[in-house]
Amino acid sequence: MDQRTVAVADRLGKVYGSGQAAVTALDEVSAQFRRGEFTAVMGPSGSGKSTLMHCLAGLDTPTSGKAWVGGADLGSLKEAELTRLRRDRIGFVFQSFNLLPTLTAWENIVLPLTLAGTKPDQDWTRRVVDAVGLGDRLGHRPSELSGGQQQRVACARALVSRPEIVVADEPTGNLDSRSGAQILGLLRRCAKEWGQTVLMVTHDPIAAGYADRVLFLADGRIVDEMAGPTPDLVLDRMRRFDGQAVR
């Protein structure tokens, strides 16, 4: 295992249900995620890309195999340790409903630190907030922010605790293309400039084009990997999936 490896999926398997009704969501998936690498996971609906992400983020438990984050075997962690891991080592950006409606943007951003009971690192927090570029909107509640602004607050929250890995689940799914581009640019920047590991699940070839590499999943298995993707290349690859699906 590479020194720079941050997260590992080791022959991860996930089966929902049992017997006749059993559905295999993940079938012995193995992958490594290195520091500062921005990985996109793509695949058609039901390919298992979300399940992979949930298992790596400690939100779901695999039925076989292991998931490691920062040297910790998630399967061996107790409930409280898993909670702490999510708080300190993983940053989340969801497709929607990312923010607590009762907190201001600033309070949402520092929420992981509040939960941990630590004081915000002033320099770092400032840098993160500057990077997402919200400036004067920090005192507003989520309902007073646009969708793009809300998603930028979510990104800032995911980054503020300097997690091992930022996990983003279709972060641009609900946004217009301009706001989406801002978010993706932000994620790429923190990978490039701050060495932040980012794992993003998406079905949008343009979004995948921002990543350093793309993992393609189908039927619970990794079927391809592409380094240095561009939207066109990704789209081509996706078309081939569709063709397979039709056939």
Partner 1 sequence: MIRVAWRSMTDNRTRFLLPAIAIVFGVAFVTGSLVYGDTVRAAVEGAPKDFDVQVEQRDNKAMSPATVEQLRGVAGVGGLRPVAEGPTFLVGKDGKLVGTPGSDGGVGFDPQRHKLTSGTAPAGRDEVALDKWAAQRAGYQVGDKMRVVVAGTARDVRLTGVFDYQNTRIVQGGTLVAFADATAREQFAPGSGGYTSALLTAAPGTSQDALATAVATALPDLRTSTADELTGLEASDNDKLTMILLIFAGVALFSSAFLVSNTFTMLAAARAREHALLRAIGAGRRYVLRMVLTEATLLGVAATVVGYLLGVGGAAVLKAQFAVFEGAPVPLRPFTPATVLAAFGVGLGVTLLAAYLPARRAAAIPPIAALRTGLPPTGKSLRRRNITGFVVTAIGTLMVVLGRGEQTMIYLGAPAMLIGLIILTPLLAAGLTSVLRGPLTRFAGLTGTLAVENTRRNPRRTGATASALMIGLSVCAAVTVPIASISAKSAETAKSWNSADIQVEALPFADISPSVADDIAKVPGVEHVTALHQALLPLEKGALQVTGVNAGSISALVPLTIREGSLDQLGTGIAVQSGVAAAHGWTVGSKVGKEKPLTVVATFDAPEEFGADALVDTANIPAGELWTREVLIKAGGSAEKVRDDIRTALDNPVLVVQTRDEYIEAQAAQFDLYLNLLYAMLSVSVLIGAMSVVNTMTMSTMERIREIGLLRAVGLGRSQVGAVLRIESVIIAVIGALAGVVSGCLIGAMTVSGQANTTPVLPWDRLAVFMAITVAIGVAAAFVPARRAVRIPILTAIKTDTE
Q: How far is CA 13 from CA 62, 125, 144, 159, 221, in A?
A: 6, 37, 42, 29, 10
Distance CA 159, CA 33 (A): 17
Q: CB nearer to partner 1: give 109 or 226.
A: 109
Number of H-type helices and E-type strands within the chain: 9, 10
Pairing outcome for strands 90-93 and 64-69: unpaired
Tokens matching residue 27: 């079938």
From the list 111, 181, 233, 235, which residue makes contact with partner 1 (rule: CB under 8 A)?
111
Strands 64-69 and 5-16 turn out to be antiparallel
Question: Does the protein bind partner 1 through residue 27 (CB under 8 A)?
Answer: no
Name the residue nearer to partner 1 (CB basis): 150 or 237: 150
34 near partner 1 (CB under 8 A) = no
Among 1, 19, 76, 101, binds partner 1 (CB under 8 A): 101
Read off the tokens for 68.
């490691």
Window 137 to 166, contacts with partner 1 (CB under 8 A)? 157
Q: What minimum distance in Å lies between the beta carbon of 70 and partner 1?
A: 14
Positions 155 through 214 that interact with partner 1 (CB under 8 A): 157, 169
Q: Which is nearer to partner 1, 161 or 209 (CB)?
A: 161
Nearest to 166 by CA among 177, 178, 154: 154
**Residue that has been written with the tokens 């570029």 in this structure:** 133
Binding piece for partner 1, criterion CB under 8 A, among 69-77, 105-113, 119-127, 187-195: 105-113
Please pick, from the candidates 59, 72, 138, 223, the single residue that binds partner 1 as defined by CB under 8 A: 59
Using CB under 8 A, list all residues that contact partner 1.
Answer: 50, 54, 59-60, 79-80, 83-84, 86-88, 92, 94, 97-103, 107, 111-112, 115-116, 157, 169
